[in-house]
Structure formats: structure tokens, C-alpha cells
């Protein structure tokens, strides 16, 4: 029976000892229940209760509480002096009630520290020294307040939480007249500091819980802000980045916003500017124009989208890390990262990559938990932003189509039935001349445009594939769809269509039937609804087209195609059977046709140039009225530079394009010869001076009072 009771008591003692990690254990001692012992136990209970209440109520100021209780510890242990040290990272600071700890003396916490308190903080075990003056292990010893009254005995005890975190050190000193610290003093101080560690740990947990509640409130407010406001996605991503960097202490953040392009998933990266450096808060995250294809990206981004799990990359030796793809994310050297995929119920919304934990070797599990808590809020905000942008795009489309419908519903002037060549002698006389790329419709034959277009379409498209009534409606609709502007009007569409027609007729075996149909229909509609202003002007005036197509407002001639085609030709790799090569050829044909107005007889070129610059000057006048200085090409006051502009345009754009086409289709040499001739004519005008050009100038002056912005 006695043995059982002893075993039970030992188990209770072992359980109680676990509350004070790494503290020295002592065997139970039987002492008489004297009145002094009973009074001391009562005082201990009162003190522990007060200490526990102080440490667990409100915001804990460790320095203030320790200094408030050091007096009791001095009295209780009959110490002459009592001092407090506080831990900050790997430094131990001497603490005073009135000054900032970081302004005081400090020592590095290490095993062989010459300061007693620093060594205690490292080992997390108390130290008792009977005579400080005789010890030789610690060269810097302890704190000496009075050189005339040097202490003799010293007791140094660490303040450790149950999670084995040392947050401070208590140093007690006795006068030479007092006995050295005994076992009773040690047991009491160890018990008190153990209670301090436990209660501080509990207080920290409580404060962490309160901070989480505050964070949840801020997330709710953050979500409400984006549900109710009209902030764009750049602002949303910037705010998310700032919250993440602040809460996790990260050096950089990279945000990948996913987008489903047909059957392919791509991601657009948002990164901090290089000027932001290592700033805690970012003014603006900037999107890179080039999308990242998830299937081609064999790195953390692709892996995160596949696994749908948060990844903690502790170092560059992690097998999931790809040094070729992930080595320079965010413009910084990669050390560690947290990668969080953000999903809704069915599709990925984004991938958040937090790079380099500041002051730590790796991100902790607490950081992962925090990201998991934030993930639903970010997903909801991104999802709402996606649908809001989608809705805005649809509203813009509705506005644009409403305007387009009004334009199309205008009464059609070309109500007569279009005639074929076999039904009209005039059409039959003109039509055979149209295979010549230099041919141009006379001003006396203006009414024949629609009839000639019908015959070109019939000649290119197989007659069995034609719905004559539908084809006539299409031509009339195209005529109505072009606006009454100086240059980009239906006549320009007719000329471009004629040029494509001449290429097809002179090279019938080069293009497939479907390609012929596509080329000639694309030529007819390539500038439909052109407002007579360039892309920059539409962006400047916030036109609906600029909002609907921010990357390519009007037609976009991809001159990069020319570079690709030149490279293929120089390498002698061009093949007509190659689909991608044929696409490049058709792109060059369309560009050549669009520029064909500059490859006619010079009198025609002069007329078309006058119309084009009249359109330019109209835009320049409007820009000047709005307070924006027009570029020289659109400045009516600088019309004398037109010959130089045209000479430069011919030699830099037009002639190289035709030379490239002549390499592929040799029978277009006539256009190249005409281009060189026109270039020489412009050069002659430049040599003769401004007066000659002014004498052939037919520009119409636009009255300033009539200038107004109108796109209808």
C-alpha cells in the first residue's frame, strides 16, 4: 500500500514538473509546519494570484511587469539588487524602467558568452555563484551598480515559456554580509519564474487570438470594400500584397492572375517595381504584358496549379524548386518561399508567391496557417472582381453595338440592284482592267464601286457557293458601315479589295479556295466603322472602342510578322505547304493591300495623300482644342514636312513590305517599281522646296468653331 502511494505521488510530481521545462528538479523535502512556513505559503499564494492576473489581463508589457515585481523578489530573497534583462532575437538587452531596451547595453546570446545573463539565456538554466569576485568563467560578470558596494552572491534565472522560448532573465545579487543563495531561495525563484513563463505564454496566446479576430475583421472590411466599391484589379492585388508582406514579414510578393484562353490556362504576373526595393508597402503592383502558359512553365507556378496545395519551399535544394524557372522571381535572389494557389469551387483564380522570409531561414507553420485563413477572403474578392470586369465589358459592348446598330439602320442610298458584267456594258468594259494592281477607278465611275465589288466577289468565290441576294446585302451593308470620313472610307475599302483581287487573279494557284474567300472578304471589311481617328486619340478621349479593345483599338498591323518571314526566307526554310508560313504570307498580302494607295500613279497618290492628311489635321485640330499638342504629322501648321514624311514612310515601310512580297510572289514586281518611282517623286519635291508642294496642296481648311468630338 505504501509502495502504491509512493508511485502515485511520484507520477504527480513528474506531471507538475512538466510545467517548467529545463528547470532543475528537486526531491521533496519534509519540513515542520511552523507558523513562519504557513505565513510564507499564504503570501506565496497571494503573490502568484496577483502575478497571474497582471500577466493575463490587457496588453502585456513584459518590461513594466518585471520591473514592478522585481522589488518583491528582492525582498523575498533578501537580495541587495535585482535586475531585468530582455531578449530580442539573438540579443540580450539590459532593461531599465525608463529607457528603451535597444538603447541600453546588449550582448549576443551564445554558449560561451562572457556575460552571465547571456549564457543563462542561451542554456535556459539558472546559475548560482557564491562569490562573484572569485569566479573566472564569465569575464564580463554581472551588472555592477555601485563599485563601492560590490555584491558577493548571485542568482541568475531564465524566464522561459512552456514552448521553450526565453524572453528574459532575472538577476538577483546579495551583499557580502549575507549568506549565499540556498536551496530554498532557488526553489522559490524557479517556481515564480516558471509561473511567469506559463502566464506570459498564455497571455501571448490570448493576444494572438485577439489579433486573429482583428485580422478577420479587417478581412471582412477588405472584402466589403471590394464588393461595394469600384476598385480595379491592380488596386486589389496591391492591397493583398501589402497585407501579406506586413503580416508574414516577406521581402517580395509575386501575384499570378489566371485567365482561361479557349482551352489553355495562362497567367499574368503582377510584380513590384524595381524602384520599390525592399519597402514594406508597395504603391502599385504592375502587370507584365506577356502571359505565362501553365503547361510550358515547369516550375512552382505550374506545380501549385496542379496540386492545389500550399507549398513551403524552405531552400533552393527543395526538389520542387526549378532554378531555371524560379531562380529570379520578383527580381530578387530566391532563398525560400510560400506558394499559395487560390481557387474557387471549379477553377483557379490566382497563385500567390511570397518570397524570402525577412530575418528567418524559412517560413513557419504559423505563416502557412495565416495564408490558409486569408485564402477564402482573397478568393471571394478576386471572384467578384472577375465578374464585375466581365459585366463592365458587356455593358461597353452593348453601348458600342447600340451605336453600331444606329449607324447600320440609316437609310441606304444604294438601293438599286447590283449588276453583273454580263448584264451591263459599262461594267463589262471596266472590269477586265482590274487585274492590274496599279489600276485606279476614275472619278467619273464612282457609282460603279458596288457593281465592281459584286463582280470581284463572284469572280473569286465559286459561283455555286454564292447566295446572290445575301452577297448584295453584304456589299450594301459594308458600304453603309464605313463612315463619311476623308480617307478611311468606303473608297479605301474598295481600293484594298481591288489590290487583293489582283493578287489572287494573277496567282490563282497560290491560294486555296477558302483562303481566297477569306482574303477578299477581310479586305472589304478591314476598316469598317473607322471613326477617322487613330488609336492614341481614342484612348485619349476614352472612346468606347478604346475601352472595349484596350490592346488593339483599331486594326493592328503586326510588323513582327515581317521579321519572322524575313528570318525564314534568309534561312531558306520557307515552304508553301507549311500552315504557319502561309499565315505570314497572307499577313504580308493584307499589309501590302492596305498600303496599295501609295503604289498608284503619282497624281492618284497625291490625291489620296491629301485626303489622308486632311483626316490627320482634323484630329490634330480637335486635340489642340482639347489642350493636347498634336504630333507634327497631325499639325496643320507643319504641312510643309509632308514630302519628307512620305519619302521616309515609303522607304521604311512601303518598299520593304513590297520587296518581301515580291520575293514570295514575283509578279508583284510592278508594284515595287511603282513604289520606287513614287519615292523618287517625293525626293524631287523635297529638293525643289516647300513652294512647289504648296502649289499642289488641295487641303480643305476646317473652321475652328466647327470642331467638336463626334464619333457618329
CA separation, residue 591 to residues 177, 523, 594, 655, 656 (Å): 104, 10, 5, 12, 11
Q: Lay out the sheet containing 81-88: strands in order across.
A: 106-108, 91-95, 81-88, 166-174, 153-160, 127-129
> Which residue matches cell numbers 477581310?
522
Helices 365-408 and 233-248: crossing angle in degrees, nearest 10, is 170
Q: Is 651 annotated as a binding residue?
A: no
Q: How far apart are CA 13 and CA 27, in angstroms?
A: 9
What whole-number distance in Å separates Cα of residue 685 and Cα of residue 692?
A: 7
Distance CA 199, CA 161 (A): 8
The DSSP string of 39-83 is HHHHHHHHHHHHHHHHHHSSS--HHHHHHHHHHHHHHHHT-SEEE
> Distance between the two ends of the chain, CA-based, in angstroms?
106
Residues 6+ apart with CB under 8 A from 409: none
594 is in an annotated binding site: yes
* 492 marked as part of a ligand binding site: yes
The catalytic residue positions are 488
491 labeled part of a ligand binding site: yes
Annotated ligand binding at 489? The verdict is yes
- Tell me: is residue 539 an annotated ligand-binding position: no
C-alpha triplet 507, 597, 454: angle, nearest 5° = 60
667, 591 Cβ separation under 8 angstroms: no
Q: From residue 509, how far is each of 87, 504, 574 by CA, in Å?
A: 85, 8, 17
Is 527 annotated as a binding-site member? Answer: yes
Mark out the alpha helices in 507-578 (DSSP H runs): 513-525, 535-540, 544-548, 560-570
Task: With beta carbons less than 8 A apart as the criterion, state whether 60 and 159 touch.
Answer: no
Instruction: Give how far Cα 85 sits from Cα of 39, 59, 100, 121, 503, Å.
Output: 31, 20, 12, 9, 90
Q: Is 61 flagged in the annotation as binding?
A: no
Q: How far is it, in rounded angstroms, from Cα 204 to Cα 208?
A: 6
Closest residue by Cα to residue 387 from 340, 341, 347 = 347
Distinct helix (H) and strand (E) counts, the chain: 23, 13
Contact residues for 15 (Cβ-Cβ < 8 A; gap 6+): none
Cα distance between residue 269 and residue 297, in whole Å = 13
Residue 507, annotated ligand binder?
no
Binding residues for Zn(2+): 492, 526-527, 594
Binding residues: 488-492, 526-527, 594, 646
Binding residues for AMP: 488-492, 527, 594, 646
Amino acid at each position: 500500500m505504501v509502495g502504491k502511494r509512493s508511485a502515485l505521488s511520484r507520477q504527480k510530481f513528474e506531471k507538475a514538473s512538466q510545467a517548467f521545462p529545463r528547470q532543475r528538479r528537486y526531491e521533496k523535502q519534509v519540513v515542520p509546519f511552523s507558523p513562519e512556513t504557513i505565513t510564507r505559503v499564504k503570501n506565496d499564494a497571494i503573490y502568484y494570484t496577483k502575478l497571474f492576473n497582471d500577466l493575463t489581463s490587457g496588453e502585456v508589457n513584459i518590461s513594466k511587469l518585471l520591473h514592478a515585481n522585481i522589488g518583491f523578489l528582492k525582498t523575498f530573497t533578501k537580495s541587495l539588487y535585482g535586475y531585468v534583462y530582455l531578449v530580442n532575437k539573438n540579443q540580450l538587452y539590459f532593461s531599465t524602467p525608463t529607457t528603451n531596451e535597444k538603447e541600453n547595453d546588449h550582448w549576443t546570446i551564445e554558449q560561451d558568452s562572457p556575460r552571465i545573463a547571456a549564457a543563462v539565456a542561451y542554456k535556459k538554466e539558472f546559475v548560482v555563484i557564491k562569490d562573484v569576485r572569485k569566479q573566472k568563467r564569465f569575464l564580463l560578470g554581472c551588472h555592477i551598480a555601485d563599485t563601492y558596494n560590490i555584491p558577493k552572491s548571485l542568482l541568475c534565472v531564465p524566464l522561459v515559456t512552456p514552448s521553450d522560448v526565453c524572453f528574459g532573465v532575472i538577476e538577483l545579487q546579495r551583499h557580502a554580509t549575507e549568506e549565499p543563495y540556498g536551496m530554498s531561495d532557488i526553489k522559490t525563484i524557479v517556481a515564480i519564474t516558471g509561473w511567469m513563463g506559463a502566464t506570459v505564454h498564455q497571455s501571448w496566446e490570448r493576444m494572438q487570438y485577439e489579433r486573429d479576430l482583428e485580422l478577420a475583421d479587417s478581412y471582412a472590411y477588405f472584402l466589403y470594400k471590394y464588393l461595394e466599391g469600384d476598385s480595379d484589379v491592380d488596386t486589389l492585388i496591391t492591397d493583398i500584397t501589402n497585407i501579406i508582406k506586413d503580416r508574414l514579414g516577406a521581402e517580395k510578393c509575386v501575384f499570378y492572375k489566371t485567365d482561361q484562353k479557349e482551352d489553355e490556362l495562362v497567367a499574368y504576373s503582377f510584380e513590384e517595381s524595381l524602384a520599390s526595393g525592399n519597402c514594406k508597402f508597395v504603391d502599385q503592383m504592375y502587370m507584365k504584358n506577356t502571359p505565362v502558359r501553365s503547361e510550358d512553365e515547369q516550375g512552382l507556378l505550374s506545380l501549385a496549379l496542379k496540386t492545389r496545395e500550399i507549398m513551403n519551399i524552405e531552400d533552393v535544394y527543395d526538389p520542387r524548386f526549378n532554378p531555371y524557372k524560379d531562380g529570379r522571381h520578383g527580381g530578387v535572389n530566391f532563398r525560400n518561399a510560400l506558394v499559395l494557389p487560390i481557387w474557387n469551387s471549379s477553377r483557379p483564380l490566382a497563385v500567390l508567391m511570397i518570397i524570402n522570409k525577412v530575418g528567418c531561414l524559412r517560413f513557419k507553420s504559423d505563416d502557412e496557417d495565416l495564408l490558409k485563413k486569408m485564402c477564402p477572403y482573397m478568393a471571394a474578392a478576386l471572384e467578384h472582381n472577375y465578374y464585375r470586369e466581365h459585366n463592365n465589358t458587356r455593358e461597353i459592348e452593348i453601348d458600342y453595338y447600340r451605336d453600331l446598330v444606329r449607324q447600320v439602320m440609316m437609310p441606304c442610298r444604294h438601293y438599286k440592284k447590283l449588276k453583273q458584267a454580263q448584264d451591263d456594258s459599262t461594267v463589262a468594259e471596266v472590269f477586265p482592267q482590274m487585274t492590274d494592281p496599279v489600276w485606279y477607278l476614275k472619278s467619273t465611275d464612282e457609282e460603279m464601286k458596288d457593281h465592281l465589288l459584286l463582280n470581284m466577289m463572284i469572280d473569286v468565290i465559286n459561283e455555286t457557293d454564292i447566295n446572290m441576294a445575301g452577297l448584295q446585302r453584304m456589299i450594301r451593308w459594308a458600304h453603309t458601315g464605313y463612315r463619311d470620313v476623308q480617307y478611311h472610307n468606303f473608297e479605301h475599302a474598295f481600293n484594298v479589295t481591288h489590290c487583293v483581287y489582283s493578287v489572287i487573279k494573277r496567282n490563282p494557284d497560290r491560294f486555296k479556295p477558302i483562303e481566297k474567300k477569306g482574303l477578299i472578304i477581310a479586305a472589304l471589311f478591314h476598316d469598317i466603322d473607322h471613326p477617322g481617328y487613330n488609336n492614341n486619340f481614342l484612348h485619349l478621349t476614352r472612346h468606347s472602342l478604346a475601352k472595349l479593345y484596350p490592346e488593339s483599338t483599331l486594326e493592328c498591323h503586326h510588323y513582327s510578322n515581317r521579321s519572322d518571314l524575313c528570318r525564314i526566307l534568309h534561312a531558306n526554310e520557307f515552304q508553301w505547304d507549311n500552315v504557319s508560313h502561309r499565315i505570314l504570307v497572307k499577313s504580308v498580302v493584307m499589309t501590302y493591300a492596305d498600303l496599295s494607295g501609295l503604289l498608284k500613279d503619282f497624281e492618284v497618290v497625291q490625291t489620296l495623300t491629301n485626303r489622308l492628311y486632311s483626316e490627320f489635321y482634323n484630329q490634330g485640330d480637335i486635340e489642340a482644342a482639347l489642350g493636347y499638342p498634336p504630333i507634327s504629322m497631325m499639325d496643320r501648321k507643319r504641312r510643309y514636312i509632308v514630302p519628307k514624311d512620305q519619302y521616309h514612310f515609303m522607304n521604311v515601310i512601303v518598299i520593304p513590305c513590297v520587296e518581301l512580297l515580291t520575293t514570295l510572289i514575283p509578279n508583284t514586281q510592278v508594284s515595287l517599281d511603282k513604289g520606287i518611282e513614287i519615292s523618287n517623286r517625293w525626293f524631287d519635291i523635297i529638293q525643289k522646296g516647300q513652294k512647289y508642294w504648296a502649289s499642289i496642296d488641295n487641303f480643305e481648311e476646317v473652321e475652328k468653331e466647327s470642331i467638336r468630338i463626334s464619333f457618329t
